[in-house]
């Protein structure tokens, strides 16, 4: 069919309008970033700060009018006016089973924070490393000792174990003092080995990270030791033997 001049002009105009409405990937990414920045800027954090929270990030959640906020005490949800705090997790119940939508944000938080303190860990490296598992430990904990005394079974399966300090009794008492000494020792591994076998530790002091590790564990949801953080950011409470742990790691 032959188009007349009027039809050609109409087609050209339509194509021009479509071109104006279509965003490039760069434009879409910029629009998303601007939207997130505007959302965070509009969110009132003053009430959370009054409660003692340190705000790390805030963005709109999957529920209209509710923000997902990462704080120094973990993930919380807050109404968009900043005046109402919501405890718990958000689940999508449209599928055959409830889906925990909060877990992705929590795991990403743990992954980021573990990476930030990797240089502060006491690491027992596998010769042929496939996985790195971060373990919050207390030298007075029986299950922590059991894990440590069988650490070769983890290393032989390609699992590096890197420790962070988490004294179960808090920032006081024997475990706290032992962990401070361990992290300040010239040979941290030897000191940790000794502490987990009731051997006397030589005196050592420094600007240690034990209190910061303890706060990090609390933020992650640690309630006892050992507590394992997998590469996926999943938190596993309690002792898991090497064979079972390897199976969990392979599943992702």
Residues 6+ apart with CB under 8 A from 137: 144, 147, 148, 163, 164, 165, 166, 225, 226
Residue 65 tokens, joined: 């009018």
- pLDDT of 42 strictly over 80: no
Domain contains 232: yes
Percentage of the chain lying above the pLDDT 90 cut: 79
- What pLDDT band is residue 44 in, cutting at 50, 70 and 90? confident
Largest CA distance in the chain: 97
Q: Does residue 87 share a domain with residue 146?
A: no
Q: Does residue 32 share a domain with residue 85?
A: yes
Contact assessment for residue 201 and residue 175, using Cβ atoms and an 8 Å cutoff: no
pTM above 0.95, yes or no: no
Residue 202, CA atoms < 13 Å, CB-side half-sphere: 7
User: Which residues is 69 bridged to in the sheet?
Assistant: 58, 76
Token match 């600007």: residue? 207
The predicted-structure confidence for 211-241, as pLDDT tens digits, reads as follows 999 999 999 999 999 999 999 999 999 999 9
- What pLDDT band is residue 202 in, cutting at 50, 70 and 90? confident
Q: Does residue 156 share a domain with residue 86?
A: no
**pLDDT at res. 41:** 54
**pLDDT at res. 228:** 98
CATH number of the domain to which 51 belongs: 3.10.450.70
- pLDDT of 28 strictly over 70: no
Helices (H) and strands (E) in the chain, counts: 10, 11
Domain contains 10: no
The residue with greater pLDDT, 170 or 5, is 170
Mean pLDDT of 77-96: 94
Q: Does residue 70 share a domain with residue 144?
A: no
Q: Does residue 129 share a domain with residue 63?
A: no
End-to-end CA distance of the chain: 58
Query: Active-site positions?
Result: 138, 141, 144, 168
How many structural domains does the chain have? 2
Domain with 41 in it: 25-99
């Amino acid at each position: 069919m032959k188009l007349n001049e009027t039809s050609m002009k109409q087609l050209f105009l339509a194509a021009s309008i479509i071109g104006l409405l279509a965003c490039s990937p760069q434009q879409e990414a910029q629009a998303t970033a601007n939207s997130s920045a505007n959302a965070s800027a509009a969110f009132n954090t003053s009430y959370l700060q009054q409660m003692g929270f340190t705000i790390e990030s805030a963005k709109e959640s999957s529920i209209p009018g509710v923000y997902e906020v990462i704080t120094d005490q973990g993930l919380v949800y807050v109404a968009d006016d900043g005046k109402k705090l919501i405890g718990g997790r958000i689940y999508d119940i449209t599928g055959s089973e409830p889906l925990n939508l909060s877990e992705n944000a929590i795991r990403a938080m743990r992954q980021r924070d573990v990476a930030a303190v990797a240089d502060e860990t006491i690491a027992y490296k596998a010769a042929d490393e496939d996985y790195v598992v971060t373990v919050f430990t207390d030298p007075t904990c029986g299950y922590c000792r059991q894990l440590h005394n069988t650490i070769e079974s983890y290393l032989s399966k390609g699992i590096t174990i890197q420790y962070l300090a988490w004294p179960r009794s808090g920032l006081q008492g024997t475990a706290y003092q032992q962990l401070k000494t361990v992290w300040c020792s010239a040979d941290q591994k030897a000191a940790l080995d000794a502490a987990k076998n009731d051997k006397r530790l030589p005196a050592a002091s420094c600007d240690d990270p034990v209190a910061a590790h303890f706060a990090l564990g609390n933020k992650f949801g640690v309630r006892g030791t050992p507590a394992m953080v997998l590469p996926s950011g999943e938190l596993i409470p309690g002792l898991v033997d090497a064979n079972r742990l390897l199976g969990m790691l392979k599943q992702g």
